[in-house]
Amino acid sequence: MAESVNARKLKIAVDAMGGDYAPATVVEGALAALRESNNRFEIIFVGDEKKIKEELKKHESTGLNFSIVDAPQVIEMDDIPTIALRRKKNSSIVVGMKLHSDGEVDAFASAGNTGAVLIAATFILGRIEGISRPTIGSVLPTEAGTKSIMLDVGANVDCKPHHLLEFAIMGHIYSNMMLGQKNPKVALLNIGEEGTKGSEVILQTYRLLSESKLNFIGNVEGRDILLGKADVIVCDGFVGNIVLKFAESVLGVLKRRLRNYAVKNIFRKLTFGFLARGLRKALKEFDYQEYGGVPFLGVNGVAVIGHGSSSAVAIKNMIYRAEEMVQKKINQRIKEALKNYKLKTEV
Amino acid sequence: MAESVNARKLKIAVDAMGGDYAPATVVEGALAALRESNNRFEIIFVGDEKKIKEELKKHESTGLNFSIVDAPQVIEMDDIPTIALRRKKNSSIVVGMKLHSDGEVDAFASAGNTGAVLIAATFILGRIEGISRPTIGSVLPTEAGTKSIMLDVGANVDCKPHHLLEFAIMGHIYSNMMLGQKNPKVALLNIGEEGTKGSEVILQTYRLLSESKLNFIGNVEGRDILLGKADVIVCDGFVGNIVLKFAESVLGVLKRRLRNYAVKNIFRKLTFGFLARGLRKALKEFDYQEYGGVPFLGVNGVAVIGHGSSSAVAIKNMIYRAEEMVQKKINQRIKEALKNYKLKTEV
């Protein structure tokens, strides 16, 4: 499994059929990762072999370290996950995840149907002992220049306080190991800073987090998310998903708005042309493509999920994230943290 | 009460002490409203008389239609609402709301402690018959050029399906009467478009809304909020508040980011200078100051709430919103809608 590899090269299975522009962007991005990293790992394309080969023809791939595992069925982006997983046993998601659970690969990365990947990961890889709800986190840029992780962002709609505590612990590890925070500041997403705010679940979670050994800094509000006050932002998957999708939409809305404004006369057009590059640069880290993939934490393996509309660059970065999670033994750290961080009163 | 005035001039009580920059911005904004509207209504400043008079000295106010009601106590922005309301009976919020419930004024507008205004409105004005939970809505600009209302955005943390249905009905009226939508599209904020998504409360609400006579278009996701797919976006106050505060913060973050980028060299500085005005214009309607105030719907009266950091312009607009709500008899419409829109099967 993911944690035990050392001598041999890492093997990363990539869902060749996952994403709005698959397999084109997946093949392009994966080859770019191999080229850029000097074949630091091996990529196993999982998907419709014929289509993958057609796609490969478009690129120079001599000497690159990849192979193909045929999985002719495709789980579409709008398939209902539970049904699709039952009916499409030969889909890239099921086949890829099984390769991982069989120990054939060290990680599985997909920009496909998120729900299907989450369910497949949970049932095929199984949960880490002590984790009742695996969670999907999203990495957000902050004004402070740091990266924070918000979790859950969609895997768990109804959460109990101990689920939220588990998210906090997993987020702590991810922030520490993957985002470089020495003593990650953990916060609860709430509608006020005071510990007396929020629903009963939120109030109880506040207490649990206060009693844990995590570096719990209290509540943060919606306005604090991008400021970098917290490194780990804990919420249920309903709130997290809505905020994340809203956030992703804002940049697009603003860009289109500025463009519409700009085209209205030639002077504006010129100024806008000058600024467009600057705008892109200034906002670069607010672009989710840059980080590539979000982690699905709490399962016995490494499953990284890319955005449905991933570009080749996003796919490349998603693969790097998968590699990094294996290298840094995130799951081993989570297991240790479950013992160490729960309650201050425990030893 | 608000609904019965016609012949005489409308009277709007304004919380002179409410807001981060009160009473300065409040006095300035209110006088501007009187001047601009040619004394179309009367303004009653409620607050510390001495301080209000000092502030008035800074402006030319001859012939403007205002008076002062002394309320020497101040509920601060960070006071705990329930405690403050009990202890500060002579505060601008309590005195102003009582003026309204006594029929002395037709509306009360405040940019002060939101929690205190909501609670005072609920208990002093009372709820409209058939409304179990008054709600605070926020008016959002959309890419489609329309304005939508999202509610609740903070008054009700835990909501039951019938509360959310009430929000939908009140939002329908507000969208129709105040935002100009003939047959407002009502949607439920959810984590997917399918009717099978979300928690038990959300699923039940979906059913209730489907059975209502509202123009229910189903679920919208976080990414749809700014697109204008829906005119009325229904959610509980926990989600709504977090999304709203997040949204308010984004513009600031982007502006600061662009400015930081711009100052790094002289060429960028110049281009940015050119664009700053354009940027402001292009994003103008995304600025909450423009709309001024958000309605607190479901109480027997008109209570409009301004943003804590309201500028004089925002105060002016908040006063106009209060006037408009009285003129358009929003509460009368809500009472009628409660009868007409609940269940398709009812008559």
- Taking residues A193-220, what's their average pLDDT? 93
pLDDT band at A1 (very low <50, low <70, confident <90, very high): very low
* Residue B283 burial (CB count, 10 A): 18
| Residue numbers in B near A262 (CB within 8 A) | 278
Query: What's the gap in Å between the CA of B275 and the closest CA on chain A?
Result: 7
Kind of pairing between the strands at B11-15 and B147-151: unpaired
Element (H, E) at A281: helix A266-282
Q: Which amino acid is at A148?
A: S
* B-contacting residues in A 18-77 (Cβ below 8 Å): none
Contact check, Cβ <8 Å, A257/B225: no
DSSP string, A141-179: E-TTS-EEEEE-SSS-SS--HHHHHHHHHHHHHHHHHHS
Handedness of CA B229, B235, B240, B243 (dihedral sign): negative
Q: Which residue in B has a C-alpha nearest to residue A257's C-alpha?
A: B282
Sign of CA dihedral B42, B46, B47, B49: positive
Place of tokens 């750290």: A333
Q: Report B:95-134 residues touching A (Cβ under 8 A).
A: none
* Residues of chain B neighbouring A279 (CB-CB closer than 8 A): 258
* Residue B295 C-beta-side C-alpha neighbours within 13 Å: 32
Whether A113 has a pLDDT exceeding 50, the answer reads yes
pLDDT tens, residue by residue, A60-111: 999 999 999 999 999 998 888 999 999 999 999 999 999 999 999 999 999 9
- Check CB contact of A78 with chain B, cutoff 8 Å: no
Per-residue confidence band for B194, with pLDDT thresholds at 50, 70 and 90 = confident
A223 touching chain B per CB within 8 A? yes
Provide CB contacts within 8 A for A124, sequence distance 6+: A94, A97, A98, A100, A101
- H/E stretch holding A94 reads helix A92-101
Pairing mode, if any, of strands A135-141 and A147-151? antiparallel
Determine the pLDDT at residue B314.
93
Confidence band for A271, pLDDT divided at 50, 70 and 90: low
Query: How far is the first Cα of chain A from the last one, in angstroms, to the nearest whole number?
Result: 29
DSSP 8-state code for residue A128: P
Which SS3 state, helix, strand or coil, does residue B11 take? strand
Which of B137-146, B239-248, B277-286, B288-297 is predicted with the least confidence, judged by mean pLDDT? B277-286
In this complex, which of B189, B271, B281 lies closest to A261 when CB atoms are compared?
B281
Min Cα distance A61 → chain B (Å) is 38
pLDDT at A66: 98
Enumerate residues 273 to 312 of chain B having a beta carbon within 8 A of any beta carbon in chain A: 274-275, 278-279, 281-283, 286
Count of positions (residues) in chain B:
347
Show contacts of A248-253: CB within 8 Å, 24+ apart.
A248/A288, A248/B222, A248/B223, A249/B222, A249/B223, A249/B224, A249/B225, A249/B226, A249/B227, A250/B226, A250/B247, A250/B250, A251/A283, A251/A286, A251/A287, A253/B143, A253/B226, A253/B227
C-alpha to C-alpha distance for A168 and A208, rounded to whole angstroms: 11
Q: What is the pLDDT of residues B204-249, one digit of tens each?
A: 999 999 999 999 999 999 999 999 999 999 999 999 999 999 998 8
Residue-level pLDDT at B347 = 36
- Compute the average pLDDT of residues A252-270: 72
Would the CB atoms of A257 and B143 count as touching at under 8 Å? yes
Q: What confidence tier does B11 reach under pLDDT thresholds 50, 70, 90?
A: very high
Q: Which residue, among A247, A227, A208, has the nearest Cα to A148 in the 3D structure?
A: A227
Q: Which of A338, A128, A330, A298 is nearest to A214 (CA)?
A: A338
For residue A21, give both structure tokens.
């522009």
Q: CA-based angle A137:B194:A121, to the nearest 5? A: 40
Mutation target among A193, A206, A242 for the B interface, most CBs of B within 10 A: A242
- Indicate the pLDDT class of residue A347, thresholds 50, 70 and 90: very low
Give the Cα separation of B27 and B319 in Å (integer).
12
Q: Tell me how close the Cα of A236 comes to any Cα of chain B, in angstroms.
A: 10
Better-predicted residue by pLDDT, B195 or A54:
A54
Tell me whether residues A243 and B246 touch, CB distance under 8 A: yes
Summary mean pLDDT of chain A: 90
β-strand partners of B140 = B148
Q: Which of B223, B235, B249 sits opposite A245 (nearest CB)?
A: B223
Q: Flag whether residue A343 sits within 8 Å of chain B, measured between CB atoms.
A: no
Best to test chain B binding among A201, A246, A286 (most B CBs inside 10 Å) = A246
Instruction: Round to whole Å and give the CA distance between A233 and A236.
Output: 10
Give the residue-averaged pLDDT of B160-165: 97
| Tokens 């304004």 found at | B14
- Count of A–B CB contacts within 8 Å? 151
How sure is the predictor about B66, in pLDDT bands with cuts at 50, 70 and 90? Answer: very high
- Residue type for position B195: G
Q: What is the mean pLDDT of chain B?
A: 90
Contact flag A243-B244 (C-beta cutoff 8 Å):
no
Report whether pLDDT(A234) > 90.
yes
pLDDT-derived band at A197 (thresholds 50, 70, 90) equals: confident
**Nearest CA distance, A16 vs chain B (angstrom):** 25
pLDDT at position A3, please?
Answer: 46
- Using the predicted structure, report yes or no on whether residue A343 has a pLDDT greater than 70: no
Contact at CB, B258 and A279, closer than 8 angstroms: yes
A144 phi/psi in degrees, rounded to 5: -75, -5
Q: Is the pLDDT of residue B289 over 70?
A: no
Domains present along chain A, CATH in parentheses: 1-131+298-328 (3.40.718.10), 132-289 (3.40.718.10)
Pairing of strands A303-306, A293-297: antiparallel
Give the Cβ contact number of residue A289 at 10 Å: 18
Q: Which amino acid, A309?
A: S
Chain-chain contact of A227 with B250 (C-beta, under 8 angstroms)? no
Q: Give the count of beta carbons closer than 10 Å to the beta carbon of residue A76.
A: 13
